[in-house]
Amino acid sequence: MAVQATSSSSSSSSLSRQWGYDVFLSFRGTDTRNTVTARLHKALTQKGINTYIDDDNLRRGDEISAALLEAIDESRISIVVLSENYASSSWCLDELVRIVECKKSKQQIVLPVFYKVNPSVVRDQSESYGKALAKLEERVKDDRLQRWKAALKEVADSSEWRLRKKGSESEFIKKIVQWVSRVVNRTYLNVAMHPVGVDTHVQEINSHLSIGMNDTRMIGIFGPGGIGKTTIAKAIYNLIAYQFEGSCFLTNTRETSKQDLGLVQLQKTLLREILGKVGSLKFDEVDQGINVMKKRLRSKKVLLILDDVDQLVQLETLAGKHDWFGLGSRIIITTRDRNLLTKHEVNLMYKVEELDHNKALQLFSLHAFKKDRPEDDYLELTEHVIQYTGGLPLALTVLGTDLHGRSVQQWKSALDKYKRIPNKTIQEKLRISYDGLGDTEKNIFLDIACFFNGQDADYVIKILDNCNFFPNSGIKVLMDKSLITIDEFNRLMMHNLLQEMGREIVRLESPKELGQRSRLWFHEDIRHVLEENTGTNKIQGILVDLLEQDPICLSPEAFEKMKKLRIFINHNACFSEEPSFLSNELRLLDWPDYTVESLPPNFQGENLVVFRMRNSCLQGVKGFQNFQNLTILEFSNCKFLRKIPDVSGIPNLKEVTLDGCTNLVELHHFVGFLDKLLDLSLQECSNLRSSLRSFKLRSPEYLSLENCSRLKNFPPIESLMECVRSLDLQYIGIEELPSPIGYLIGLKGDHPFGITLWENKIPNQFSHHKGASNGNSCEINIDEACEIEINERAYMDGEMRGIAFNAVFGIMDGHMKDSFDFFADVSNDGSDNVWLHYHVRESFKLKGDDLQVCFGFESDSVSLKNRRVCMVRRHEEKATDRMLNPQDLGVLHEDVDVHLGVPDEDIENSIDMMDGIQLTKRGRDDDDYANLESNWHPQQKRRSSTLDIKISDERICHLVNHSYSNQITLGTC
């Protein structure tokens, strides 16, 4: 006999409700009223179990009475005695339908008892059940028959409490009574006054528990403090504990284990809860307790919940291995530390997330207003609370209770206070995780809370690593303890209340003496420390973010006592004077609008990692070669900066941004040899004349010289640049393309290579093809079906790598009549403009009969004087073969039309939709690429090729204005 009953897992709140009856008995009176049902009722009553059994006088007519329906609704357990003739009574079947409904809606426990009938007969509705249902079908006109059949199948699938013909009826009844006694006499745990959102978690976790499976499973529930882990675990315990031979909810595991013999005490509590009266447990050592647990529990199906675990030894002592417990056992662990679950090799880890806005609003309102929604006068203030708490159930409950019954003005005052001095109850709960950290992890946590919440993780790691905080491992610890997360954009994210908790820890370092705190971020505190010159050696970091733009009256000596200052970030402050001293411990110096031409003479910068001085008056940096740890340099819009100092001693530079340095004339040549440089941006450096001698960068991803209009020569590229993803050379004054541009093999995806040249500075590589069009539009068709013959090598796969474009725009009548959007603005000085563009599409293939490439714009002030399209194919033999090779290009020219209206993702679909076009064949001139050869691809010889084209002047594309400056789209006209 397998003993198992069923209940729904859809909710937890009803488990603590007050029931009218312990048991409702459903049975066929003529079969069992005076036999097994009577004896079962008597046995239950003798055990003090409140049992409902109907009276014959209630059964009148075909419709079930209201009194009987109410009794079913108010019963914790329904015992359904399925006898041979049970299905012959429509009354019984209606009872069963109602019982199944209560199982789903009220989490009622249903106990089917098969009295001298096979469960398969009930499940399949065969034999006596089939005959009975067939007779009822003759007089049932609605859908009751289908509901009866569904209910019978559901209870038959639920369990197999079955009394066989030769079985002992008294023993059968005894086991049922014992099982019911265990359910009704069990003490239920108090879940929560308003368990909003708990149901969803209980459902999901219960589905993973798979109670019916005959194995032993361990499941971990993790999340930050106050998220509701214990509440969820209690709800699960109330829901399923009756299905086990023994159960134990072990509370306060963390606190109890700290006491003398705390782990031994927990072992004894566990054994008593599961085994009941076991006499004296004579052991005083953890190892002895482990042996007792193995011996006494290995054959028992138990439910064990270990709440608030924070040390691996607790798991090793209380639930060391699966085989300590009998088959069918379930062990549930709640913890703030995910890493503990990983180390203990639990079967499943479940993360508890914050409440969404609607559930957070409901939970807060139930505590603050005693109803589901806030009162109208409090709507705006309530939204502030919801945003502040960030969906943390503990905070919503505590603040809702605290604000209940207060006036609007009192709410405003309380909310202002929370922002400066967080609620003590919430803080104490959240701080538990922080207190368990090591010193370096605590420093990382406080730095993130005070300065770096929401910042790029890699950026923060660079800074903290140079502080000797070992952030790669420390951040992992913080994540495991649910103190921070890293989002899909690689940003370090900390919950609002955890950030407040971290800042409160810093405030409590010195509640009254502001200069004695390790970190400053509140604008009033910073103003006081800097203006009153009360800074001390304790200060490690300052973040200046003022609410108003009032200048800070800074004393030049204000920083002299801050010799341990590691971080200084100025978002928006103006200072009356500049400092005469800066700490050489600085790792991050971010000071825009710095008004002095040089840094303090004491500053050596040997520890500096990030150096940002936007819009400053700096003319140079003395001793720059000492900044050997520098990785990020940003001097954007430094109008007095004329040259970049020697960077040969700074091998770790990864980002250099000099945008808008309009007086910058030259770069130090060693910039072109920085192996680790990723980003180099020199946009709007209008006086830059000399860039670099050569490019030997190995890892750059982004290079921009946009609007460096006086830059005449682009440095030769002397090594493969596989990492380059974007190269922006719009509006520069070069007269030759970068040589050899074939080394730019990393361009891919939707990151193009584009150049717009001023004043008709047409590079020699393109000047061999000229000829004006009749207007501002024309088009080219390329036929792939008729084969673009390029004498391809055997190893080429025929796949397009990209498309190269060239066009020359002329201004009609020497001036522009109107303006228009294009990939780059056209000069209004009367000169011709040259536009070059290389567009890359990964895995882009020509499909169908032809591809139409379109250029275009809406203006009668501009004409196309020269245009070219080059098909660039890809092959995968080796890196050097993937460079742009002139002999692998087909040259397409003649009149071209512009079109910018099709998104990139639609390109391939557009190609498939192209109409077939008649084609003519012509040969390409052998010298078409003579001038391009050395620059597109080094050390290669020209080869001839032919392609099929059709020129048409009849079909003109409609222009869709496009605001993106670095994107080309292909589409049908």
Q: State the CB neighbour count (10 A cutoff) for residue 321.
A: 12
What is the DSSP annotation of 776-810? S--EEEEESTT--B----TT---EEEEEEEEEEEE
Do strands 109-115 and 302-309 pair parallel, antiparallel, or not at all (unpaired)?
unpaired
* CA–CA separation, 822 and 825 (whole Å): 6
Structure tokens at 14: 């009803």
Long-range CB pairs of 583-592, under 8 A, 24+ apart, other chains included:
583/559, 587/463, 587/466, 587/467, 588/463, 589/613, 591/616, 592/616
- Catalytic-labelled residue, pool 95, 504, 706, 784: 95
Q: State the CB neighbour count (10 A cutoff) for residue 733.
A: 18
On whether the CB atoms of residues 198 and 192 are closer than 8 A, the answer is: yes
Structure tokens at 450: 């005070």
User: At 622, which helix (H) or strand (E)?
Assistant: none
CA angle 880, 884, 888 (to 5 degrees): 105
* CA–CA separation, 704 and 682 (whole Å): 6
On whether the CB atoms of residues 645 and 653 are closer than 8 A, the answer is: no
* CA–CA separation, 587 and 542 (whole Å): 12
> DSSP letter at 868?
E
Please list, in sequence order, all residues whose beta carbon lies within 8 angstroms of the beta carbon of residue 229, skipping any fewer than 6 positions away. Answer: 221, 222, 223, 307, 308, 334, 335, 352
DSSP, collapsed to helix, strand or coil, labels residue 49 as coil
Residue carrying the six token digits 């606190």: 255
Structure tokens at 953: 């002047």
Please list, in sequence order, all residues whose beta carbon lies within 8 angstroms of the beta carbon of residue 589, skipping any fewer than 6 positions away. Answer: 568, 582, 608, 610, 611, 612, 613
* CA–CA separation, 256 and 869 (whole Å): 76
User: At 811, which helix (H) or strand (E)?
Assistant: strand 799-811
On whether the CB atoms of residues 692 and 715 are closer than 8 A, the answer is: yes
* CA–CA separation, 787 and 524 (whole Å): 73
Measured over the CA atoms of residue 762, residue 766, residue 768 and residue 774, the dihedral's sign is negative
Q: State the CB neighbour count (10 A cutoff) for residue 406.
A: 14
Do strands 920-923 and 946-952 pair parallel, antiparallel, or not at all (unpaired)?
antiparallel
95 catalytic per annotation: yes
Using CA atoms, how far residue 360 sits from 364, 367, 387, 920, 940, in Å, is 6, 11, 10, 69, 67
* CA–CA separation, 807 and 814 (whole Å): 18
* CA–CA separation, 807 and 379 (whole Å): 60
DSSP, collapsed to helix, strand or coil, labels residue 320 as coil
Through-space distance between the first and last CA atoms of the chain, rounded to whole angstroms? 77
Of 551, 560, 464, 446, nearest to 503 (Cα)?
A: 446
* CA–CA separation, 382 and 387 (whole Å): 9
Residue carrying the six token digits 């046995």: 43
Strand partners of residue 730: 756
Using CA atoms, how far residue 171 sits from 3, 113, 114, 680, 735, in Å, is 13, 14, 15, 85, 102
Residues identified as active-site: 95
